Amino acid sequence: MFPLALNPILERLSWAWAMRLLSLIVFVFVVFGNIFIKGRLPTGKQGGVISLKCFQDLRFAWATVGIACFEFVLYTTIGLLPTYALEQGFGHWASFNAIAVFNAGSGLGRYTAGLIADYYGRFNCMALFVLISIFATFALWLPVGHNVALFYVMVPIFGFGSGSVVSLAPVCIGDLCKVSEYGQWYGTSYSAVAFATLISIPIAAELQSAAGTTAYVAFSGGILVLALLSILIARWACLDYKWIWKAKI
171-216 tens-digit pLDDT:
999 999 998 899 899 999 999 999 999 999 999 989 988 998 889 9
Q: What is the mean pLDDT of residues 102-129?
A: 94
Instruction: Give 37's pLDDT tier (boundaries 50, 70, 90).
Output: confident
Instruction: Give 28's pLDDT tier (boundaries 50, 70, 90).
Output: very high
What per-residue confidence (pLDDT) applies to 42?
Answer: 65
Percent of the chain at pLDDT > 90 equals: 64
Interatomic CA distance for residues 169 and 186, integer angstroms: 10
What per-residue confidence (pLDDT) applies to 41?
Answer: 63
What per-residue confidence (pLDDT) applies to 154?
Answer: 96
Among 233, 210, 229, 207, smallest CA distance to 218 is for 207
Among 157, 169, 46, 174, smallest CA distance to 106 is for 157
Interatomic CA distance for residues 71 and 92, integer angstroms: 26
What per-residue confidence (pLDDT) applies to 105?
Answer: 95
Global pTM exceeds 0.75: yes
* Angle, CA 92 vertex, CA 87 and CA 98 arms, to 5°: 80
42 exposure class (CB count in 10 Å sphere: 0-12, 13-18, 19+): exposed
What share of residues in the chain are helix, strand, coil (percent, to 5)?
Answer: 80, 0, 20
On the question of pLDDT at 46 being above 60, the answer is no
Query: Looking at 6-10, 96-100, 222-226, which range is the least confident one?
Result: 6-10
Q: What is the mean pLDDT of residues 32-50?
A: 74
In this structure, are residues 146 and 88 in contact, taking their beta carbons and an 8 Å threshold? yes
pLDDT tens readout for residues 67-94: 999 999 999 999 889 888 988 888 878 8
Instruction: Give 44's pLDDT tier (boundaries 50, 70, 90).
Output: low
Instruction: Give 145's pLDDT tier (boundaries 50, 70, 90).
Output: confident
What per-residue confidence (pLDDT) applies to 231?
Answer: 97
